[in-house]
A = this chain, B = another copy of it.
Amino acid sequence: MKIENPNPIQWQFSQRAEQLQSSAIREILKITMRPEIISFAGGLPSPQTFPVERMREAYDAVLSRAGKVALQYGPSDGYAPLREWIADSLSTSDCPIVPEQVLMLSGSQQGLDLLGKVLIDEGSKILVETPSYLGALQAFSVYRPEFVSVATDDDGLVPEALDAVGQGARLLYSLPNFQNPTGRSMTLARRIALVEACARLRVPLIEDDPYGALSYNGEPLPKLLNMNPSGVVYMGSFSKVLTPGIRLGYAVAPVPLARKMEQAKQATDLHTAQLTQMVVHEVVKDGFLTEHIPTIRKLYAAQCQSMLDALQEFFPAGASWTRPQGGMFIWVTLPKHINSMELLEAAVAQNVAFVPGAPFYANTPEPNTLRLSFVTVPPEQIRIGVEKLGKLIAARM
């Protein structure tokens, strides 16, 4: 039934599609899936933390009790009881959050795409941390903004730096807790100053918070959302506290923006899977996360300490690194003449992998940086991998 000798199509992609490239991280992940590789490259949570049995029970319960509802189309803004649970869990005494602010997403990454879709025109100025989450840079870059990198130091984004560059920006994108890629967190004073600066400049502030619950000492700092709910969009995720493979996240936004994002969501994929939302509500509604999250914190804190110990032992003077109080990542800065992309090639030849730092910069890359993830590698393997990296770096000093 095939037609004969059709003209070949010369694919003409949109201008925005030319911004798209395969993520460096995911391309490297493909290489480093080989079992003999000690990979510090992943951004994956540890599967040890997945409550598989609890999830299995919840799928069973929801499908037994309400299968026909769970398997039908659902509302674009999400499953109402889960939106209520999220609003409650984010409310503070002086800052109630209402379900109307909550939009359920197919992973919080989708929220970044929707924000780009509804807030960014070609050439719009948007502000990002230096460095920032690669997935956000990719999501936003499709909409062809002008990225402006804001200065950061060991306490995260420097609010004073905003005055010079913030005027007229469409948004500022920030990860205040255990940032990906650096593992850094903002101090309380910084948070207040940041929220005040954005309010003064009338710049919408995006608070991306996949790791906030993973504070090793169990005491998270106040959310930017609760400091100015009319000016902050909060992005939350179940990927790091429950499981990522179900793809479930949420945005909490001022109502006019939440409605516009809901319209964009509807045009994009109608709604997030109803069954997934009902199952997660079933899992979390009676306080499961209160018991579960401390077990993740404990595991990740021990893994982090193993890597910090190994770095101390094996990395040469001249290399420096962050000392995260939570989350999944350590950020290493090497002497300026060492290029971490070249280092990666040498490391992979010795069966060790990490992510070079350059792709995390929106503007001027610092090629002497790299990101290490410690959560999925056993401590003895962390030691071996860091020792090998240390020798490769020492040889380049």
Contact = CB atoms under 8 A, between A and B. Distances in A.
Contact of A117 (B3, B71, B142, B273): B142
Interface string A183-221: 000000000100110011010100000000000000000
Copy number of this protein in the oligomer?
2
A316 interface: no
A177 to B, nearest CB: 15
A221 to B, nearest CB: 10
A67 interface: yes
Interface string A47-91: 100101101100110011001111111101000000000000000
Interface stretch (A11-19, A155-163, A385-393): A11-19
A138 interface: yes
Contact of A273 (B124, B141, B273): B273
A245 B275 contact: yes
A397 interface: no
A226 B2 contact: yes
Contact of A267 (B3, B73, B138, B202): B138
Contacts of A44: 72-73
Contact of A244 (B13, B43, B52, B73): B73
Given A14-B121, A119-B14, A20 B264 contact: yes
A230 to B, nearest CB: 6
Given A121-B15, A247-B269, A268-B110, A92 B260 contact: no
Given A20-B260, A68-B50, A94 B1 contact: yes
23 contacts: A3-B195, A6-B199, A6-B228, A7-B231, A9-B230, A9-B231, A10-B202, A11-B254, A14-B124, A16-B117, A26-B266, A47-B72, A50-B67, A52-B67, A55-B63, A56-B59, A60-B60, A69-B245, A73-B244, A106-B272, A106-B273, A113-B269, A138-B266
Interface of A: 1-3, 6-17, 20-23, 26, 43-45, 47, 50, 52-53, 55-56, 59-60, 63-64, 67-74, 76, 92, 94-95, 105-107, 109-110, 113, 117-121, 124, 135, 138-139, 141-143, 170, 192, 195-196, 199-200, 202, 204, 222, 226-231, 239, 243-247, 254, 256-257, 260, 262-264, 266-276
Q: Which 10 A-B pairs have the closest CB atoms?
A: A52-B67, A6-B199, A71-B243, A245-B274, A56-B63, A47-B68, A17-B118, A59-B59, A20-B263, A71-B245
